[in-house]
Amino acid sequence: MTVTVPSPRGNIIDGFGYAKGLRERITTQVAALKADHGLTPCLVVVIVGEDPASQIYVKNKGETTKAVGMESRTITLPATTSEADLLALVAELNADKAVNGILVQLPLPEHMSSLKVIDAIDPLKDVDGFHIQNVGKLSVGLEAIVPCTPLGSLMLLKDAIKTHGNGSLSGLNAVIVGRSNIVGKPMAQLLLNENCTVTVAHSRTQNLAEVCRSADILVAAVGRPKFIKGDWVKDGAYVIDVGINRIDTADGKSKIVGDVDFDAARERATAITPVPRGVGPMTIACLLNNTLHATRLQHGIAAPQEA
Residues near ligand NDP (CB under 6 A): 149, 177-180, 182-184, 201-205, 208, 221-224, 242-245, 279-280, 283
189 is catalytic: no
Q: Indicate the residue among 162 and 224 with the shorter CB distance to ligand NDP.
A: 224
Whole-angstrom Cα distance, residue 33 to residue 56?
Answer: 29
Q: In whole angstroms, how close is the CB of 221 to ligand NDP at the nearest point?
A: 4
CA distances from 266 to 9, 204, 277 (A): 7, 26, 15
137 is catalytic: no
- Residue 225 has phi, psi (to 5 degrees) of -60, 130
Active-site residue identified among 61, 125, 185, 226: 61
Q: Indicate the residue among 152 and 236 with the shorter CB distance to ligand NDP.
A: 152
Q: In whole angstroms, how close is the CB of 33 to ligand NDP at the nearest point?
A: 26
128 is catalytic: yes
Active-site residue identified among 29, 125, 126, 128: 128
Q: Indicate the residue among 59 and 224 with the shorter CB distance to ligand NDP.
A: 224
The DSSP secondary structure of 92-161, one letter per residue, reads HHHH-TT--EEEEPSSPPTTS-HHHHHHHS-GGGBTT--SHHHHHHHHHT---PPPHHHHHHHHHHHHHH
Active-site residue identified among 105, 126, 241, 259: 105
Is it true that the peptide bond before 276 is cis, omega within 30 degrees of 0? yes
Q: Indicate the residue among 100 and 149 with the shorter CB distance to ligand NDP.
A: 149
Residues marked as catalytic: 61, 105, 128
